[in-house]
Structure 1
Amino acid sequence: MTIEERLQRLEDVVAITQLVASYGPLVDAGEAERVAELWTEDGIYDVDEYYMGSRAEVDAMVRSDAHQGLIGQGCSHFLGPAHVTVDGDRAVAVCESVLLVRHGDRVFPARIGANHFELARTTTGWQTTRRTTRGLDGGTDARDLLSRTGRI
């Protein structure tokens, strides 16, 4: 691998790491348009109980009364460090996450999850084509997502 190829790979990993790390702050700030821009137009966000099949549906989720209620009482969507694997114009990032929610003067974990991002290099940079999130509830679905670490 040439030095230029190595540099490109490092730049790709940093860009994808930044994309994953930006989700929590943006969704907690209620930045619906900016959150949605993390996905391609037909990008999918598949959470256990909620399936979004487009960028517009991701935008609508952030604007929804349910999400606005969460951020109105205080919450934190925290995604841990992502393991990123790049193969040309495709990539995968795997990480764990926790959703913390404030109730009065106390903060409680509301959800812990496994996250598998599929990404593509687009004309505007890296974007998510599919994000799958499953609750870490002891079942195999979340463990299966985590086992994909390092694989495209």
Structure 2
Amino acid sequence: MEDRFAIHELIALYGHLIDEGEWHRLGELFTDDIVFDTSAFEHGEITEGLARLAADWATPGWPHPVAHHATNIVIRTLELDRAEVLSKGIGVGRKGRVGSVTYRDTLVKSAAGWRIKHRVAQLQRGR
């Protein structure tokens, strides 16, 4: 149960750090070798490495929503030092537009705790 709680806290912390622009704290969320895949978005890409991710996101004008809300967190696989997690995110844009994303995460556990090693963000579009 302790690991499950820690994983839920990690997924929730993401929105708080991003919305506050606390780029120096991204190591609390991600491994140094994070692979973050936003290729499903209009201007998305696959970003490799914590340093590059932090530098990109700190760039003025980077297209982040003003609010990230994590929900529907499902731990699909939980092993001693690895987990597969599925969650939803609701983002509110600068002009009030709301969007939904599905996150598919691979987490690893180290001495520092659980961290996201690989994240795929898929924008939800109408069917």
More helix by share: 1
Within a 5 Å distance, the mapping from 1:9-28 to structure 2 comes to: 10-28=1-19
User: Whole-Å Cα distance in 2 between the matches of residues 138 and 89 of structure 1?
Assistant: 36
Task: Pick the aligned partner of 2:103 from 115, 120, 133.
Answer: 115
Aligned partner of 1:142 in structure 2 is none
| Aligned partners of 1:92 and 1:116 also within 8 Å | yes
CA distance in 2, matches of 1:133, 1:42: 17
Match of 1:125 among 104, 113, 127: 113
Could you state the TM-score of these two structures normalised by the residue count of structure 2? 0.86
CA distance in 2, matches of 1:113, 1:136: 5
> Which residue number in structure 2 is paired with residue 146 of structure 1?
none
Which residue number in structure 2 is paired with residue 30 of structure 1?
21
Aligned equivalent of 1:4: none
Q: Secondary structure at the match of 1:65?
A: coil
2:57 is matched with which residue: 62, 71, 85? 62
Q: Identity of aligned pairs, percent? A: 25
Shift of 1:100: 0.3
The SS at the match of 1:81 is strand
1:39 and 2:30 correspond: yes
Give the aligned length. Answer: 122
What is the CA-CA distance between 1:70 and the residue it aligns to? 4.8
1:36, 1:58 within 8 Å by CA — same for their partners in 2? no
1:135 maps to: 123
Residues 15 and 126, structure 1, Cα contact 8 Å, conserved in 2:
yes
What RMSD over aligned residues (CA atoms) do the two structures have, in Å?
1.8
Unaligned runs of 5+ in 1: 1-9, 140-152
**4+ runs of 1 displaced by more than 3 Å?**
none
Correspondence for 1:88: 80
Q: In the alignment, residue 124 of structure 1 is paired with which amino acid? A: A
Deviation at 1:138, TM superposition (A): 4.8
Question: Contact 1:36 / 1:59 at 8 angstroms: preserved in 2?
Answer: no
Q: Answer with 1 or 2: which has the greater Rg.
A: 1
Report how far residue 81 of structure 1 moved: 3.2
CA distance in 2, matches of 1:40, 1:77: 20
1:66 shift after superposition: 2.5
